[in-house]
Every structure is written in structure tokens, then in C-alpha cells.
Structure 1
Amino acid sequence: MTISNPILKGFNPDPSIVRAGDDYYIATSTFEWFPGVQLHHSKDLVHWELIGHPLGERRLLDMSGNPNSGGIWAPCLSYHEGVFYLIYTDVKSLAGAFKDTPNYLTTATDIRGPWSDPVYLNSSGFDPSLFHDDDGRKWLVNLIWDHRKNRNPFHGIVLQEYSEAEQKLVGPKKVIFRGTELGCTEGPHIYKRNGWYYLMVAEGGTGYEHAVTVARSRSLSGPYEVDPANPVLTSQGNPDLPLQKAGHASLVETQNGEWYMVHLCSRPLPGLQQSPLGRETGIQQCEWTEDGWIRPVNGRHPQANVQSPALPSAPALAPVECDHFDGTSLDVHYSTLREPAEDSWLSLTERPGNLRLYGRQSLNSHFSQSLVAKRIQHFRFEAETVVEFDPEHFQQMAGLVCYYNSKNYYYLRISHDEKLGKTLNVLISDNGAYDELLAQDLPIRDWGGRCYLKVQIQEHEVRFFASPDGESWTAVGDSLPFGHLSDEYATRHVNGFFTDWGFTGAFVGLCVQDLSGEKKAADFDYFCCRNL
């Protein structure tokens, strides 16, 4: 049997893998999307299922006001003596020279929770990772960020002991690794094997020069010698590879002694360096050389198909294609922005069989958005819904959105015009520049109470449709470029400083706004997401 990459499709970057008995878990970054950290489970490393999010309560995570691509960066999941440890960063600012990066720890004896109250660790940088040594001591490593002019902002990987009894970092701090000539040294993980401490890091930046490098030492605190064959894994310089941006990796050993590396990757649109599906998770089979270095079996370039381990096949449940909102809570595959789905703005019980959203702030807001969305995972994709919404003025809107961040989205919205009554149009935010796809709104006051909305993605193109009955569809405007909903398109810099970052991926979702503050509600009867 082979494993097809990516194993976690759509926006699922910075994987951290751990084995607990016969079970495998991967934690991935969620950035400004709530709940925080995606947790995926597998028995065979082939089939994966999203099982939950450990940071699903405000006591564990409050991202109100966090910037685009802030929030949860590079969580580290580990398991020791029956306890799961989750280390995470909640990035509060990242544009310009400074980054505010508080790091926390939460634990659980069951991967599904409950998770303990967060323990604050430090704020010196991001990508924290916890290493459990053989003697029972625990050590934190993270990147130190240097804001000073004419310095390397990736100052180095710092090591400090964590006291579980005192629930804080203790003792001296030491920079144990400055990185290689690839630069941008981040994403550290430490492993111990045959008396060697191995430090695996991400380098080259998280774009097309991304890479995995390794160094080792007989002492935890160093000095570390770099692998002479670095980088261990990279796509750099090979634009024809289906998996690009390979880097930021994590290792796991199977119960049979086989080794695998999970890693970040992306699939750009054909012919473009734009990846609207976001940074995803791939896997490579590995082996140890006679002189004690880890190597992917098929070489340093990521493979789209990989030999699976000698484990029994364990298929996972497929996500539900059409959600008719018959339950009392949202399905695990939904995300909201910066804050949890709460009764104050969302209900599945006020009108059973419908998702009711109360209008709040605009899609440009970093605070109170009434938006429920799913990751787009394929280049050929369709999403459909039907909504009942009776806006009274132009500040009230509801509909179907393809969303990258608060500055980049396409929004098929229902609203009200003083002369035309209920109308449709596609709102566009292109790196913050507002536009409307149709020169004049499309009147739909004769359609009745229900309005069917659909979006189709065909590789490079996004196109919206609407219908009064779900059978006869009308295209709403021309097609739009899917690549504009990508990391590469969203990233901007001025005078050498990044003013906007793009680290996430494209979502499709249902949303409502009421800019008057009257909290006008819309009811969505179903939401179907299909691969074409």
C-alpha cells in the first residue's frame, strides 16, 4: 500500500506528529481560525481523520483582535508517561520589526480532553517545542526573535528547562544553534537516539526555498554539528515537483521500528506560484544511515506517493458532504474567526434544521465576525447553500464567501437597495481594495423567501451562481482568479518590512453582517461541499 500526499489536504501547516501506543496524532497550525489547533488521528499513517481541536474554549485561547495570520503558530504535540503535552504560540502582532509571541502549555490524559488551564511559558519567540529527556527532565526550545536593525531576526534556537512541579521555565537560557547558511532557522524539535541529541529545524523561510535541516550533539546543550548532507528535505530549485515548499518537519517511529517524517508542503496552481489551498501536510518514509543521520528513503525531494508502514489498514470516516444542520453543535470541520461559535451570534436550535447566524461586524473586522467556514482542499470544488434572509437596508448582508483573510475575499451577498429591493452582487476585497463585480446589483425581490447560492472552483477560476429554486442557476458576474486567495498574493512588504503576511489558506463559508448593529439574522438550511 502507498500513502498519497498530501495526507492532510488544505490549510494544515507545521505538522507535529506523535505516537501513543498504536495511535498516531498530528497537530497543525490554525492561525486566526477558531478553535485552535487541528488534531488528526490515524492507525496506519495512510488514513487520517480530524478528531477535534484542543483549544476550543476562551480560557485556552482568546484571539479577538489578532491580526491576519496571527494566532496559533506551529503547535508541538508530545506524549510522555500517559500525558499529552501541547505547546503553542498565540501571535498577537507580526507586521514590521516586532513580533509579540506569548507561548503556552496545556496538558491532557485523553487526546480529546479536557485540556488543562494554559501555563504561560515565555514570549521570546515562536515555534516552541517540548523535549522529554530520559532522566525525566523537560526542556523547551524555541526561536528567539531579534527586532534590532541590521541583525539576523532569527537569532537562534534557545534551550531552557521546564519545571513541571513549578509550572514554569527555570534555570539558565542558552542559544544552542544559530542555523546554517540557509537562514530563517525556526521550527525546532529535539529527538534522542543512540546517545545522540538530534535537532531538526525548518530553514530557508516558509516559501519555495523552505527546507528541513538536522544537527546533532552528544550533549543536549551542544555544540551541535550539522548534517553534511543538509538539507535533508526540500523542494527548492525543482519547480516541477508536485509538492512545493517542503519543510518544517517532525519525526515518528512506528511500533515496528519504521521511521516517518511529516512535513509542510503546498500545491501551487498549475503555471503559477500561488497556492490558495494553503500549506498542507505531507509524509516521507525515512531511514537511518550507518553513521547515524536520518534520511528520506527516496532522497531529499518530497515524493507524492510513499510506501506505507507495515501496519494493518485502518480506513477513516470520510467527512459529510452535505450538512443539513440537524445537530445541536457544529461539525468538527467548521472554523470561525478568532472566537468560538457562541449562542450570542449562532444557533442550531432556534430553528431546528437550520444554521441561524446573527449579523455582526464586516468581513474586514478582526473582532466580531459571524462567519462559519470550511477549508477548501481541492482545485476543482463546489459549495452550495440556501438562505432565508430579508434585509431591510444596505448595511445588512448575508451569503456565501470564499475567504482568505480580512483583506482578500469574494463574497456573493444578498442585501437591500433603496430602489431595487432585495439584490445580489459579488463583493471583492483585493488586498484591501473594495470592489463590486456587477456594475449594478441583480434584483431578486421576485424570487421569494429562499435564495440558493453556489460557488464553483475550476483550478484558476472562481465563479458564483444563484437560483430561486435550486434548479435553474444564473451566473453572477464573470469568473475571478482563485490564486488571489493565496499566501503568496496576500503577502506584502514595504521598504524591506512585511506589512502583510499570508500563512493560511482559502476557506468557503456562510456569513452575515449587520453594520447597523441591529443583528439581523439569516437562516441557512444546508451547506454542501463537493469535490468536482
Structure 2
Amino acid sequence: MAMYQNPVLYADYSDPDVIRVEEDYYMVASSFTYLPGVPLLHSKDLVHWEIINHCVSSLPFEKYEEPSHGSGTWAPSIRFHEGIFYVFIPLPDEGIFVASSKDPYGEFKLHCLHEAKGWIDPCPFWDEDGKAYMVFAYANSRCGIKHRLDLVEIDPLCRGIIGEPVTIFDGEQIAPTTEGPKMYYDQGYYYILMPSGGVAVGWQSVLRSRSVKGPYEYRIVLHQGNTDVNGPHQGGWVIASDGRHWFIHFQDVKELGRIVHLQPMCFHNGWPFIGTDQNGDGIGEPVKEWKLPAEGKPEYKIAQSDDFVSSKLSLQWQWQANPRQSFYSLNGHRGLRLFCWANPSRENLLWYAPNALTQIPQQPAFTALTKVCLCGEADGDMAAIGMIGHSYSYLGLQRTDKGNRLMFYTGNVTNKELKGEAQEIPEISCPYAGNTVYLRLELFSDKTYRFSCSPDGIRYTFIGCPQPLCRATWTGAKLCLWSANKSNIRSEGYGEYEFIHIEDRSGGKEGF
């Protein structure tokens, strides 16, 4: 039988949740300040995935017109009920929202279920008596609570809550930092799967009760044990069409965020058991490989490279704030035009830039190459490639009063939340003859990356020293393309990116 290897996605699809609808699997993930948000992925075998949609096109609050680091769309859940896909999405500062659609490939409509500050990680549940509920957790950073799960009745059509929440679990002593609950019913029990103990070193717990409102019993069902998979938790349980049980979850690898693992799951004495017991302590541990859930299925891939031939941006791209049509153009020219936007509210730094176009790296080592023509109108116009994180850098071709120059900038984030604060330094400036350049970024397995450039795509010159890869706020580092006016004046200039080609250097298959 064919085997799969963990992680199934070496990519930052944080806080995954998964469902099966007939022979199709669907997964959603957090995206925080990056929009469109809450990517929707599809698979036939739980191992090979493709992006098919986003559940949130933009957020209906003015603050998301700018980057709001660490805010935005937190851990979502997805359910299919009476022909409708429901995605419950927490905004920790605004409340619980619901995106719904009859077609996973179509438009999702977003509405607010309940305004609240600090409610997070909601999961809906429709009981056999026709009543509906939502289990949720609390954000310590917003309301000072991090160890409690509450349950509230909701309208079955997900239009609002009914009554007041009741506490069904308080893990202050046995499961600190209780979050990410997912509710299920099977074989006479209500189960709530939940991560405990925090992202970096936590574990996966399960609650069990004969009644939806409890009381609930508690058990640890997955931990790191003797493996190198730290903090294995926060995910979803799904039953395959052949009756086998699976659990999909993340592992935090810091610089590149929270990557996705798939574990076999079974039941023992009425309790879920996840992974395998490798050290004899009776608790499951993550597997490195296992039998493929289904053979002969399409081996989907998540697109990375882009020749920008479509009239719409490909689904791997997200902006650092609410999308605007004024950021870019794809129609009637060669490649993607990113306009040299001036930031009207503050200094034009990458950390502050709503028009930074980002994507999630899909492997721990890669080469990204773009060919860009700077069509500068004003001094300060720049077109660049970079990596966004708490320390970041980018290399661009910039127009100055002394002609075009290659500019290498480094940045350091001093306030990581919401609008935040950052400092940037132009480390290197050198003259460049012409307005077209190949810009290359190479990420290495030692978690450093380096830039180089070429006038012809053949001979490359390194620019600057290798840079340490650094995570962003609640996410891994992001690859980005960015055009801006560094003098922060209005300009009609733009960078025209003919392509971006990304090649896997980690030993896997090349991106496309």
C-alpha cells in the first residue's frame, strides 16, 4: 500500500479544520491580516491539496484598510449542513462572523453572528433535536481569559445567538491555554477536540459527555512524546467514506509558521486515540508516515509560480490588508502591474503596506525568481521582491534623481501588533543601467535567505548578506512582491512583473 509522509503540507495553513462531503474533503485555515482571507482547500485523499477559494473577500471594518497584524481572521471552523457550507470565523476585536455558500467554488456571504471582544475559535454544532449550538474559547490578549470553553445556543440558520453562554470546561489547572474546540457526536457521546497548553509545547485533549451541556470528562489523546513534532494540536476530525478516522492538525515550526500533519485515529473504550503509542505511556504520538487514506486519487498541488496570464489574481496571492483594485492591473499588458502606491497615513514601509502582495511558502527551501520592468514616473518609484516578518528585507529597482538604482532594504519590527511600529534601513544602493531586471530570492534550509540580481537572467550578482528568516505576527514569514513610492508621493508609476517562478529546493517536487 502507498504511504504518505508528514507533514502533508509544509506550509502555514494555521489552525486547520476539515470536513468530508461525499468523496471530497474541504479544509479552512486562519489568515489574520492577509486578505482575501480564510483559504478554502480541497482534496480527494487528505494528503494532496489545492486552493479553490477564499471564504472572506474583505473585512467590513475601516481598520483593515491598513495592515492589522495579529488581528483579522483567527481560527475558523467549517461545517456542511442541509446543503450549505458554513464557515465560522472569529475576529478577536469585533466578534464571531459566519461565511456561507451552497457552492464551495462560489461566493461566500459574510455576516456577523454576534459582536463580542475576545470570543475566538467558534465551532457550530447541530443536534439531533433540531437545536444548534456554538462552542468557543477566549483570547487572553483581548479579555484576560485563556483556559475556558463556553457553549451557547444559536439560531439553526446561524443568524444570531440564543440566550447566554455557559461554561462547559475550565482548564485553569489541567489544561491551561484551552482553545480551538471542535464539537462532534458519535456513538452516543458528544466529543470536543481541543488543543491545550499553548502552541509551542502543548498537546491535544478531548472532552466527552452523554449530554451536549456536560458534564464533560477530560483526556489527553496526542502529545509530542519521543517525536520531534512539538505542540501537536489544533485541528479537525474527519471520517473517510471507508469508515476510517483521521485527524488533521498543525505543528509550529516558528519561522515558516504552522505546518499541516495528518494522523490516523481510532477509538478505544469510547475515547479517540490519535497517532501511535511509541513510548508506552498510553498517549498517542504523531506518525512520520502512514498508509495513504485513498489511492488513485488526483495528486493536487498548491500553485506557487505565476505567469500572470489570467485576468484575475491566482488564489495563492493575498494582500497585507483589504484588497483594492487600485493596487494592481492584469489586463492588456505583459504580466502583473503593481502600482507605486504612496501610503497616505504613514511612512511607506513594507510592514505598513496594504498593497504588499504576499503568498505562503510551500516548502522550507526554495528559489523565487521574478522579471520586473520598472516603469517609474516619479523619483522614489520602486519594484521589489522580499520576505515579510518581524525582521524583513527586500531588494528592488528604484528610480532616483541620479537614475535607477538597485536598493536593498532591511526592516525591524519594534511593535508587532495591529498597526505596529517598524524601522527600515537602506543597506545597499548601487547604480543600475536600464529599467528591467531579474530579481532572485533564495531561501535555504538553515532558515536564511539571500538576494541576487541579473540584467539577463544568466549571470547573477549577490546583493547583501544572507538574512535570518523571521516569522510575522501569528504567521510564518511571507514571500512578497511590492511596488511603492519610497518618497511617499503620489505617482502613476508601476512595476510590471512578467512572471514569478518558484522552484522547490528542499528535495520535493518543483513548484509550478
Q: Deviations over 1:134-180 (max 9, x none)?
A: 222110111134679xx962151111111135821002320100125
- Percent identity between matched residues is 27
**Residue 383 of structure 2: which of 374, 398, 411 is its match?**
398
Q: Secondary structure at the match of 1:431?
A: strand
Residue 423 of structure 1 pairs with residue 411 of structure 2: no
Identify unmatched segments of 5+ residues in structure 2: 278-283, 415-421, 506-512
Distance 2:321 2:378 in 1: 27
Q: Secondary structure at the match of 1:205?
A: coil
| 2:78 aligned residue | 77
- The aligned residue for residue 292 of structure 2 is 308
State the 1:416 CA deviation.
3.5
Residue of structure 1 in register with 2:259 after alignment: 280
Given that 2:328 and 2:336 are in contact with CA atoms closer than 8 Å, whether structure 1 keeps it comes out as: no
Q: Structure 1 residue 346 and structure 2 residue 335: aligned?
A: no
Equivalent in the alignment of 2:149: 157
**Inter-partner Cα distance in structure 1 for 2:41 and 2:166:** 33
The match for 2:452 is 465
Aligned residue number for residue 443 of structure 1: 431
SS at match of 1:38: strand
Is the contact made by 2:349 and 2:424 (CA closer than 8 Å) also made in structure 1? no
SS of the residue 1:9 aligns to: coil
From the superposition, tell whether residues 87 and 319 of structure 1 become closer, same or farther in structure 2 (CA, over 3 Å). Answer: closer
Question: In the superposition, relative to structure 1, how do residues 48 and 277 fare at CA in structure 2: closer, same or farther (>3 Å)?
Answer: same
Report the secondary structure of 2:256's partner residue.
coil
Q: In 2 relative to 1, CA 397–353 (structure 1 residues): closer, same or farther, beyond 3 Å?
A: closer
How far does residue 374 in structure 1 lie from its aligned partner after superposition?
1.7
The residue number in structure 2 matching 1:250 is 236
Cα 1:116–1:147 shift into 2, 3 Å: closer
Among 198, 201, 214, the residue aligned to 2:191 = 198
1:507 to 474, 478, 491: 478
Give the counterpart of 2:134 among 140, 162, 186. 140
Equivalent of 2:372 in 382, 387, 408: 387
Match of 2:342 in 1: 360
Check the 8 A contact 2:126/2:156 in 1, yes or no: no
Please tell me the residue identity of whatever aligns with 1:192.
Y
Matches within 5 A, 1:191-230: 191-207=184-200, 209-227=201-219, 230=220
Question: Counterpart amino acid of 1:525?
Answer: E
Look up the SS of the partner of 1:257 in the other structure: coil
Q: Distance in 1 between matches of 2:153 and 2:67?
A: 29
3-state DSSP of counterpart to 2:383 = strand
Q: Which secondary structure does the structure 2 equivalent of 1:333 belong to? A: coil
Using a 3 Å threshold, how does the CA distance of structure 1 residues 223 and 319 change in structure 2: closer, same or farther? closer
Helix, strand or coil at the partner of 1:344: helix
Question: 1:376 corresponds to which letter in structure 2?
Answer: P
Quote the RMSD (CA, aligned, Å): 2.4
Equivalent residue number for residue 32 of structure 1 = 33
Shift of 1:126: 0.7
Query: Could you tell me which amino acid in structure 2 is paired with residue 522 of structure 1?
Result: G
The answer on whether the counterparts of 1:141 and 1:158 sit within 8 Å (CA) in structure 2 is yes
Letter in structure 2 aligned against 1:481: P
Bigger Cα displacement from structure 2, 9-18 vs 357-366: 357-366
The 3 A distance-change label for structure 1 pair 16 and 469 is same
**Which of the numbers 233, 236, 257 marks the counterpart of 2:222?**
233
| Structure 1 portions without partners, runs of 5+ | 92-99, 268-274, 488-501
Tell me: CA distance 1:413–1:83, structure 2 relative to 1, closer, same or farther (3 Å): same
- CA contact under 8 A between 1:60 and 1:117: conserved in structure 2? no
Within 5 Å, which residues of 2 pair with 1:174-185?
A: 174-179=166-171, 181-185=174-178
Give me the whole-angstrom Cα distance separating, in 2, the residues matched to 1:29 and 1:322: 22
Mapped contact 1:145–1:154 kept (Cα < 8 A): yes
Corresponding letter in the other structure for 1:389: L
| Residues 357 and 257 of structure 1, relative CA distance in 2, 3 Å threshold | same
Equivalent position amino acid for 1:246 in 2: P
Q: Determine if the alignment matches structure 1 residue 529 to structure 2 residue 502.
A: yes
CA displacement at 1:391 relative to structure 2: 4.1
Give the 3-state SS of the residue equivalent to 2:315 in structure 1: coil
1:493 counterpart residue number: none
Instruction: Answer whether contact 1:246 1:264 (CA < 8 A) is retained.
Output: yes
| SS at 2:491 equivalent | coil
**Cα deviation digits, residues 333-365 of structure 1 (max 9, x gap):** 11111112x321210014243434342332445
User: Which whole-Å CA distance do the structure 2 matches of 1:356 and 1:392 have between them?
Assistant: 13
8 Å CA contact retained: 1:358, 1:370 = no
Amino acid in structure 2 at the alignment position of 1:251: W
Instruction: Give the structure-2-normalised TM-score.
Output: 0.88
Which moves more between the two structures, 511-520 or 451-460? Answer: 511-520
Equivalences, count: 482
Give the C-alpha shift of residue 58 in structure 1: 5.1
Select the residue among 475, 491, 498 that pairs with 2:462: 475
Q: Does the 8 Å contact 2:350/2:356 carry over to 1?
A: no
Q: Which amino acid aligns with 2:250?
A: L
Match of 1:521, as an amino acid? Y
Alignment check: 8 A CA contact 1:244 1:266 kept: yes
CA distance in 2, matches of 1:477, 1:135: 65
In 2, the alpha carbon distance for the partners of 1:510 and 1:115 equals: 27
For 1:355, give the aligned amino acid. R
Residue in structure 2 matched with residue 270 of structure 1 by the alignment: none
Shift of residue 103 of structure 1? 0.9
